[in-house]
Each structure stands twice: as structure tokens, then as C-alpha cells.
Amino acid sequence: MRLKKFAAAALLGVAALGLTACASSITSTVSRYQAMPAPQGQTFFVVPGGGMANNGGLEFQRYAGLVAQQLQARGYSPAGSASGATMVVQLGYVVDKGQVRYVEDPFYRSHFYDPFYSPFYYPRFGYRSAFSYGWNDPFWYGGGVDSYVEYHSELDLHIRGARTNQPLFDGRAQARSTSNRLDIVLPSLVEAMFTNFPGQNGETVRITIPTRPKPRS
């Protein structure tokens, strides 16, 4: 019995490490269509483009600022208003309310009686390991099904010529995560969107970005 308790404690410690690793990066699918001109003095202004961005306020300003920093780093200059810019950047984003996912706990099934049992497969994390636990793991209280909440997030970016409304860039970054915190998800989606910006016209790529949550005061 003491050995079982020790093993359980050891596995719990490994589980905590596993969760930290899973939360340390976000993999997103990024689709981009572009006809961006090379930087030659163009100016831009970021406006709300749908979803939660339409709420405006300080929240939108924070993420619009991240987009502005990325564009400035690539040679484009911010304008004081949309009317004074040569390009209008529409930024939209959303995180859904989440969906509960259920997976079977492989440790609950006895390998003595189940020929299909494998202690090295844990479908929730997508790889084989004997030490892959999630929070609320029923292993600790005799269950057989694990559950967690999966959130879907999306960031849309559209750049248009201010005077002609000509489309210059259409991009979409989507991700799934176990966090719905905007300060964790959106900075990673913005960085993914601008990785190798503007990219190849019509490409869809998978990009993994470390998460950088905003420090709490």
C-alpha cells in the first residue's frame, strides 16, 4: 500500500510537469492570401474587424498594438487615423465558450484481463507515454473517463488599400487550447500570423508559438 501511494505521488508530480509543457506553447493553423506591396512609405491604421474586437476599448487597443508592432517591424508606419492611412488593417478575434472533451483513462483498464490494454497510450495528448495525466484525472478516485474543456480561438486579419479598398492581405489563424484567456491565446496567434509574413499566397501552415501571458499585477 505504501508503495502504491508513493507511485501515485510520483505520477502526480510528473503530471504537473506535463501540464506545464502542454500549456507552454500553442500550435495554430494559419491561412494567408497576400498581394502585399514592399514597404515604400505606406502607412496603416488598425480598426476592429469583427468578433470580440468590436467591443473596442482598452482590450482591443492592446491587441491592435501587437499587430501594429509587427507591421512596424516590417517597414510600415502607423498613421494617426484611418483617413490618414494608405492601408486599413481590420483585426478580428474570438474565443468560444469551450466544449467538454472526454477520453478514457487507460490506467483504469486492467492489462491482466484486457488484451487491447496498453499503458503507453493516452489519446488526449496524442502520444504514447505511461505518465500523461490531465486535471480531474479519475485515476485518483477510481473512475475510467477523463474530461477537460477545449477552447477554439481565431484571429482574422485583413489589410485593404485605404482609398481603393483593394485587398492586400487576408489571414486567419486558428488554434485549440485548454485556456480561454485572451492574454495567453491572442499574442501567440498574432505572432503566428506574422511568422514569415506575408507568406506565400494561398498557403496554409502550422506554426507553434510559446505562450507569453501578461504578468499579473
Residue 108 has pLDDT above 50, yes or no: yes
Per-residue burial over 83-96, b = 16 or more CB atoms within 10 Å of its CB, e = otherwise:
eebbbbbbbbbebe
- DSSP letter assigned to residue 133: -
Residue at 130 is within a domain: yes
* Same domain flag for 32 and 136: no
Identify the domain boundary among 114, 142, 170: 142
Residue at 89 is within a domain: yes
Which CATH number goes with the domain that contains 170? 3.30.160.670
Average pLDDT over residues 35-41: 95
- DSSP letter assigned to residue 41: S
* Same domain flag for 43 and 112: no
Q: Which domain holds residue 125?
A: 2-22+105-142
Q: Which tens digits make up the pLDDT trace of 149-197?
A: 899 999 999 999 999 999 999 999 999 998 889 999 999 999 999 999 9
The pLDDT assigned to 23 comes to: 54
Among 20-24, 133-137, 179-183, 200-204, which range has the highest average pLDDT?
200-204
* Same domain flag for 68 and 32: yes
Average pLDDT over residues 85-104: 91
Q: Measured between alpha carbons, how far is residue 13 from residues 77, 133, 181 in Å? A: 49, 10, 25
Q: Which of 157, 215, 191 is nearest to 25 (CA)?
A: 191
Of 25 and 196, the structure prediction assigns the larger pLDDT to 196
* Same domain flag for 79 and 134: no
The pLDDT assigned to 131 comes to: 35
* Same domain flag for 90 and 183: yes
This prediction has a pTM of 0.70
